[in-house]
Structure formats: structure tokens, C-alpha cells
Amino acid sequence: MFTGIITGVGRIAAVHDLGSSSQHGKRLSVQTPAGYLDDVGLGDSIAINGACMTVTSLDIAQGLFTIDVSAESLACTSGLDIAGTVNLEKALRAADRLGGHIVSGHVDGVGQVTHFAAVGESWRLDVLAPPELARFLAFKGSITVQGVSLTVNSVADSPQGCTVSINLIPHTLTHTALGELATGQRVNLEIDLMARYVERMLSLSGSFASIGPKPMNPTHPA
């Protein structure tokens, strides 16, 4: 589990094929900031641009770790098969503060940046989410973009999908890779975990009997 609060900005330094066909994934070498891997162990989970991945090798002295990304994960995400800057977040510990919102690190869809420009001291980011995610997005709700927990300022539905508008403060741009976004870029999205369960419960409302404890049979006199 994660919070969507980025703990470091790294860089995919190298991408290697794990096979010769489209059914094979990629092995990524990720460069991290100095000291970032001091408390990381083999097999730990690190979210890369919002996608939870497993550390398969470590070079703490060089600040490098590797991950293996399956073909399925590559098909469901964006930007994990090319070199470039990425947002990093280590897995949540039980005693950590939940500064963002509950994030699973499972990308629900890939959106597209439709607007990214300065507004006063902040920046406005508009992202077109796929139509199937529209029912999970709400005004003042939470969304994860490239692994960053953000608050939705407005939603606008269209046949193409749902456009969410987000305000980014200078601190967010400085401490994440979101400052490098550009119009037309594809981004990884994760919906709010609670919205996922609410939608599921509403879709099954009335379909099944109560799952609570059944009343006990009345006792009969001897």
C-alpha cells in the first residue's frame, strides 16, 4: 500500500528486453537519489509512476535497483518501457502518516494530458480519463496521477471520457516529476480505493440477501 506522497524522483536509466516477443516484459534499471535505497531490501515494493513493482536487485552504493515489468503491466501502464524521469514511493509502513490517500499501486487506466499551464503561482493540469473510470471521479475526490495523490477540482464528462482538472502548487512541481508533463502525454491513473468498493456495492444492491448473521431459531419449552 502507498499514500501517493512521492518520496523521491528517480530515473529509468536502462531498459532491457526479457525476451524477443511481445509476450515478454522488460527489465528496468532505476537510478535513485543519494541514500534513497539505504532502508530498501531485496523484494521490497516501490511504486514507479504509480505502478507497484518488486525490487529484484540492488546496488546501494550506486543508488541503483532493478525491476521486472511483465508484458501485462506494460500494456496497462504508460512510460515504463522508456528511459526518463519517474516518481518513486516506498511502500507504506504501519506507523507512517497517511499524508495523501490510500493508494494500492495498481494502475486503473491511462489518461492523457489535455492542458498544462501556469495560473498565478500554481499550475492547472487537465487530464482526460477513459470513459470507464468516469463513475469513480468526483469533485473534491482523490485521484492518483503518475503516482501522485491529487485532489480533483472539477470534472467534465464527454463521449471521449471524463476530464479532471487539478491544481498543482509549486511544492508538488518541485518534489515530483509532474513538472515535466506536456500536453498530449499519457499518464498512469489510479482511482480512489473507497470509490471502487462503493461502486461494487451499489452495483450489487438488492441482488443478494443480507450477509449478516441470521436470527437464531426461537427456543421451545421443554
- pLDDT tens digit sequence for 81-120: 999 999 999 999 888 888 899 999 999 999 999 999 999 9
Q: Which CATH architecture has domain 8-90?
A: Beta Barrel (2.40)
Say yes or no: domain 109-203 is CATH 2.40.30.20.
Answer: yes
Residue 217 has pLDDT above 90, yes or no: no
Residue 158 has pLDDT above 70, yes or no: yes
From the number of C-beta atoms within 10 Å of its C-beta (0-12, 13-18, 19+), residue 22 rates as exposed
The number of CA neighbours under 13 Å toward the Cβ of 155 is: 19
pTM of the model: 0.90
Q: Cα dist. 3→6, 132, 170, 197 in Å?
A: 8, 23, 20, 18
| pLDDT value at residue 204 | 87
User: 8-90 and 109-203 share one CATH topology?
Assistant: yes
H-only helix segments in the chain? 71-76, 170-175, 193-203
In this structure, the number of other CB atoms found within 10 A of the CB of residue 164 comes to: 28
Domains of the chain: which residue ranges? 8-90, 109-203
In this structure, the number of other CB atoms found within 10 A of the CB of residue 106 comes to: 17
| β-bridge partners, 129 | 162
The C-alpha atoms of residue 22 and residue 79 are separated, in whole angstroms, by: 16
Name 21's Cβ contacts closer than 8 Å, sequence gap at least 6.
none
Contact between 196 and 155 under an 8 Å Cβ cutoff? The reply is no
Residues 159-168, mean pLDDT to the nearest whole number = 97
Contact between 14 and 26 under an 8 Å Cβ cutoff? The reply is no
Residues 176-185, mean pLDDT to the nearest whole number = 97
Residues 10-24, mean pLDDT to the nearest whole number = 95
